[in-house]
């Protein structure tokens, strides 16, 4: 099947390789460009690091490699280990599970440095603050939306050369709806299947009148497993 991947690089390239291994054709159309913010690190020393997205890892150069790092899921954990961090502790794939991991493994009162994007959700920071931790958010990177629908996506939609769209975030889903709508291509979106990493992404698409399907767990393996039932 022909599968559109809208997540930013380098994750889009990794997904394309996984799709090829499964016998599918990936069409890459990243809708976000990830870049450093230049924001300085907080002055307060951290007892541990908190990482809620693999996008953060390339921007963590210079942080102590021996600090405990709490990673949201297996993919993020693997990237952190590859970057040289020696004490990586992996959560269950979402913010709630990550907060439970930290609470169960660290004494309250410690300082956590959340290496995050400019735009981030309240969790797990809010729950951890409520549990007695000091959470310092460092916006190490930002994700800027592309101004126009990538030509690869436009041609696939116009030429009816698309079977599936994979959605890895609510923001990329909303961006695709906006950019496709601006070019009068919403009908093309209705002709294809939409597979989502989580229920909240699926909700974004459902509000636009699409019929999405969410993965059983918020990880790429579970998302790609949905393809098995469509072949």
What is the CA 44 to chain-centroid distance, rounded?
A: 28
The full DSSP string for 186-203 is: HHHHHTSEEEESSHHHHH
Q: What is the pLDDT of residues 15-45, one digit of tens each?
A: 999 999 999 999 999 999 999 999 999 999 9
Mean pLDDT along residues 80-90: 98
The pLDDT tens digits for 140-160 are 999 999 999 999 999 999 999
Better pLDDT: 229 or 96: 96
φ/ψ of residue 118, rounded to 5: -60, -40
Q: Within this chain, do residues 65 and 122 fall inside the same structural domain, yes or no?
A: yes
Among 143, 170, 197, the domain boundary falls at 143
- Give the CATH number of the domain where residue 138 resides: 3.40.50.10090
Average of per-residue pLDDT values in the chain:
95
Same domain, residue pair 116 and 39: yes
Domain C-terminal end among 87, 110, 143? 143
Q: What is the pTM of this model?
A: 0.83
How many domains are there within the chain? 2
Is residue 93 one of the residues assigned to a domain? yes
Q: What is the CA radius of gyration of the chain?
A: 18
Domain shared by 157 and 104, yes or no:
no
Q: Do the domain assignments include residue 154? A: yes
Can you give the pLDDT at residue 104?
A: 95
């Amino acid at each position: 099947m022909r599968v559109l991947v809208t997540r930013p690089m380098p994750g889009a390239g990794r997904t394309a390789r996984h799709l090829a291994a499964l016998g599918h054709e990936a069409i890459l159309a990243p809708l976000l460009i990830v870049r450093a913010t230049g924001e300085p690190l907080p002055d307060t020393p951290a007892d541990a690091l908190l990482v809620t997205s693999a996008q953060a890892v390339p921007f963590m150069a210079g942080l102590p490699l021996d600090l405990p790092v709490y990673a949201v899921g297996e993919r993020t954990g693997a990237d952190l280990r590859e970057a040289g961090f020696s004490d990586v502790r992996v959560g269950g794939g979402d913010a709630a599970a990550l907060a439970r991991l930290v609470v169960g493994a660290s004494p309250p009162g410690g300082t956590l440095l959340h290496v995050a994007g400019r735009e981030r959700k309240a969790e797990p920071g809010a729950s951890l603050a409520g549990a007695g931790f000091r959470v310092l958010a460092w916006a190490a990177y930002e994700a800027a939306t592309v101004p126009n629908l990538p030509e690869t996506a436009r041609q696939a939609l116009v030429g009816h050369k698309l079977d599936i769209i994979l959605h890895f975030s609510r923001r990329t889903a909303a961006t695709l709806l906006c950019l496709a709508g601006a070019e009068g291509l919403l009908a093309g979106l209705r002709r294809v299947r939409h597979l989502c990493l989580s229920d909240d992404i699926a909700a974004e698409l459902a509000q636009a009148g699409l019929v999405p399907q969410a993965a059983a767990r918020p990880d790429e393996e579970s998302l790609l497993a949905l393809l098995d039932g469509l072949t």
